[in-house]
Structure 1
Amino acid sequence: MTDTDAEGYAGLRVERAEELARRHGWASVRVLPQGAAMTMDYREGRLNLAVRDGVVVRSWEG
């Protein structure tokens, strides 16, 4: 995972992923539990973390 790699957080515990994301300079981190509703607006600098059972299953910018 590089500092700005939005897709490199899958498999991490959510707490660790949030910590690393903030350390790597993401302006905002949005945690989305499984099945949660979310807005579809795109925000540069925001990292989205889809989480199941406390583990990131998908991550992306926007």
Structure 2
Amino acid sequence: MAPIPTPPAEPHDNPDAYVGLEQGRAERLAREKGWSTVRSLPPGAIITMEYRSGRLNFEVKDGRVARSWKG
């Protein structure tokens, strides 16, 4: 039987800390802090709602992070 995969770890990080940062800077910082996936989306983007451990989402408006959340 194959082993059960281990989901990526979530860093101990506050998503609210990225709000207001320039998109590129926020993405680099999130990866440096250990997020395995960083996803930047335009406001109102249609996305799936499954929770993925290790993923940080950014809603980007005018080149800056307007909202940030895990999963």
Q: TM-score, normalised by structure 2?
A: 0.79
Residue 63 (structure 2) pairs with residue 54 (structure 1): yes
d(CA) in 2 for partners of 1:60 and 1:32? 12
Instruction: Choose the corresponding residue for 2:41, options 5, 16, 32.
Output: 32
- Residue 50 of structure 2 is matched in structure 1 by 41
1:16-38 CA-partner distances (Å, limit 9, x unpaired): 00000000000100111112111
Aligned to 1:17: 26
| Identical-residue share of aligned pairs (%) | 55
TM-score, normalising length: structure 1: 0.89
Decide which structure has the larger Cα Rg and report it.
2
> What is the RMSD of the two structures over their aligned residues, measured on CA atoms?
1.0
Relative to its length, the structure with more strand (as a share) is 1
SS at match of 1:41: coil
The 4+ residue runs of structure 1 with deviation greater than 3 A are none
Q: Which runs of 5+ in 1 are unaligned?
A: none
Deviation at 1:7, TM superposition (A): 2.0
CA distance in 1, matches of 2:36, 2:15: 12
